[in-house]
Structure 1
């Protein structure tokens, strides 16, 4: 197993059957070894700096009905909201004062693309030096092009799974894996720094589907790779499904760091929700980005993708000092720069 991990470190890839062995037979000692190697790679490329992104959850209205998601269209039990342009800009101003130079605008798949194009235009005009990241789901090619022209730099769109049968177990009729992959191809072609990723331990996921995901991400070569554990939401069809495993999430984080040494890989809110030290464990497994929440405090609990989502304390923009202390405790510091992808 150690020789497999060392070869992955050296060559940045393995054969599909070797990935299968790594995912299915990794013991604790091997996990410690791959985490340490991934941490070395991250330190070699980024130093002990962790990039911060200011997350603004612009709204929880969604036209989709994904079986795993708390803001799915069928959930009648959550209070819907959508931030207006002035509120989003006020969040950016607050974030800019705190030192953020990347804003991540994330929301359910709403139809008001015109408003979001205006928002991006306004942010770009007021803050010419920031990076603007969008995570607004599947759109027509022309909408992505207009987002880019308005000044957005990055786009996050997890593919969730590259296996069509698995995809159909997670999503209702009317959504398709082929359209999701078309979106990612569009984003890369248009010129966005593009992010994709998966939920680790999503219902019906197997070692084979995970290997497919690894090989797809290798082929796509995204600038950002977002992975976190599946966490159930009580008002979804998957309410009783078990959470994804910390061990497997940390293993995959390290695999992706060894395969993509320069990628921007967040230690996600889902990890921090799964375990109190989750964020730190993600960083020690090779992650180099965290996304504190800049959304209005009064709205945060409504953006409930899964139960008990961490959005306060060190997960919040106003908790930057606490975050700084927690990072210092494991030997890292905050980098308030834009933190663009750079393949050296």
Structure 2
């Protein structure tokens, strides 16, 4: 039995086998075989539905100084902003009217948003939009903070691990951050009953196939409900400003691999894919993805939440964004869903 056949049959491999599987990316026949199996599994569990998440980027302040990030603490050129609770609720109201039934509150690790402030925001959203799911993406917190957010009503939590290799993690982050703590946060979130999302960058400086295989092993062990991956894109105000971006083709291959490894996972076709390739999100859906995350943030703030250069969808209204996405999704042979879009158990 080949490693490809073994993977398709059992959905699990060892690290050395993943390294071998990743080397088949450039074999068009095998890559297409992997893609077709990913699409089959995606349709088995989710049909032709593509779930939408209304993304609200509510603060671009961050206490961290991750070397690759455009809103890192020491970037003096960022125009910082915070949304008020009422502004956040207005974003939700607009999104709800457009058909969104999941909201994602994403921001830097901003100390201004204390546990008390976050609990208040969460409760207000859940009280007003009780039929909606609420996802948080606000970084590393204590177990107690995660517990409080969960009890306030948060349903899901996105925390990309970025890389599961400790050496590569160290090269991308300052010393006060650790991969061990990032992983512990993810396990704490699972213990508290969140639907958990992890994920990694594809193609950051120094990444090898072995590093990616380590990411797949970690995801295999964690079994998250959501996985977000996207090509690395450098930001001009970081030390990586002159580096090459990650590969769209490699990202698409990995989307298919992750779909086969975790058949029931919620898998976004990310903004980074669409930034790198005008048809990136459609290609992501064709590789096994089943989620898109259009931006509900106030239009004037979207460009200020610039994690990487040339981020798309910074000037469109949410309504235009949804109509545009609907046509794009239809063109890929799928249909936008108005459901909350929970992970299949």
Q: Name the TM-score, length of structure 1 as normaliser.
A: 0.97
Query: What does residue 159 of structure 1 align with?
Result: 161
CA shift at 1:225, angstroms? 0.5
Is the 2:52–2:102 Cα contact (8 Å) retained in structure 1? yes
Query: What does residue 296 of structure 2 align with?
Result: 294
User: RMSD of aligned C-alpha atoms?
Assistant: 1.4
Report the 3-state secondary structure (helix = DSSP H, G, I; strand = E; otherwise coil) of the residue aligned with 2:228. Answer: strand
- 1:85-122 superposed Cα distances (whole Å, 9 cap, x missing partner): 00000000000011100000000011122222211010
Is the 1:314–1:322 Cα contact (8 Å) retained in structure 2? no
CA shift at 1:24, angstroms? 2.2
- 1:184-234 superposed Cα distances (whole Å, 9 cap, x missing partner): 111000110000000001111111111111001000000001111100000
Is the 2:25–2:250 Cα contact (8 Å) retained in structure 1? no
Is the 2:230–2:270 Cα contact (8 Å) retained in structure 1? yes
Query: What does residue 18 of structure 2 align with?
Result: 19
Is the 1:12–1:260 Cα contact (8 Å) retained in structure 2? yes
Query: What does residue 128 of structure 1 align with?
Result: 130
Report the 3-state secondary structure (helix = DSSP H, G, I; strand = E; otherwise coil) of the residue aligned with 1:334. Answer: strand
Is the 1:144–1:187 Cα contact (8 Å) retained in structure 2? yes
Partners of 1:267 and 1:316 in 2: how far apart? Answer: 18
Match of 1:221 among 194, 200, 223: 223
Is the 1:291–1:315 Cα contact (8 Å) retained in structure 2? no
CA shift at 1:15, angstroms? 2.4
Matches within 5 A, 1:67-216: 67-111=67-111, 112-113=113-114, 114-216=116-218
CA shift at 1:7, angstroms? 2.5
CA shift at 1:3, angstroms? 4.2
Instruction: Go from structure 1 to structure 2 and tell me whether the alpha carbon gap of 1:169 and 1:176 turns closer, same or farther (over 3 Å shift).
Output: same
CA shift at 1:273, angstroms? 0.4
CA shift at 1:301, angstroms? 0.1
Is the 1:312–1:319 Cα contact (8 Å) retained in structure 2? no
Partners of 1:45 and 1:285 in 2: how far apart? Answer: 15
For these two proteins, the number of residue pairs brought into alignment is: 342
Partners of 2:68 and 2:318 in 1: how far apart? Answer: 24
Where structure 2 has 5 or more consecutive residues not aligned to the other structure, the ranges are none
Matches within 5 A, 1:298-313: 298-312=300-314
Report the 3-state secondary structure (helix = DSSP H, G, I; strand = E; otherwise coil) of the residue aligned with 1:104. Answer: strand
Is the 2:69–2:235 Cα contact (8 Å) retained in structure 1? yes
- 1:300-330 superposed Cα distances (whole Å, 9 cap, x missing partner): 0000000000125889453211211111112
Query: What does residue 248 of structure 1 align with?
Result: 250
Q: Name the TM-score, length of structure 2 as normaliser.
A: 0.96
Instruction: Go from structure 1 to structure 2 and tell me whether the alpha carbon gap of 1:41 and 1:313 turns closer, same or farther (over 3 Å shift).
Output: farther
- 1:144-200 superposed Cα distances (whole Å, 9 cap, x missing partner): 111001100000000111111111000011111111111111100011000000000
- Between 1:332-341 and 1:312-321, the stretch displaced more is 312-321
Is the 2:299–2:317 Cα contact (8 Å) retained in structure 1? no
- 1:10-60 superposed Cα distances (whole Å, 9 cap, x missing partner): 211122222111212322332222112111111111111100010000110
Instruction: Go from structure 1 to structure 2 and tell me whether the alpha carbon gap of 1:244 and 1:315 turns closer, same or farther (over 3 Å shift).
Output: farther
Report the 3-state secondary structure (helix = DSSP H, G, I; strand = E; otherwise coil) of the residue aligned with 2:200. Answer: strand
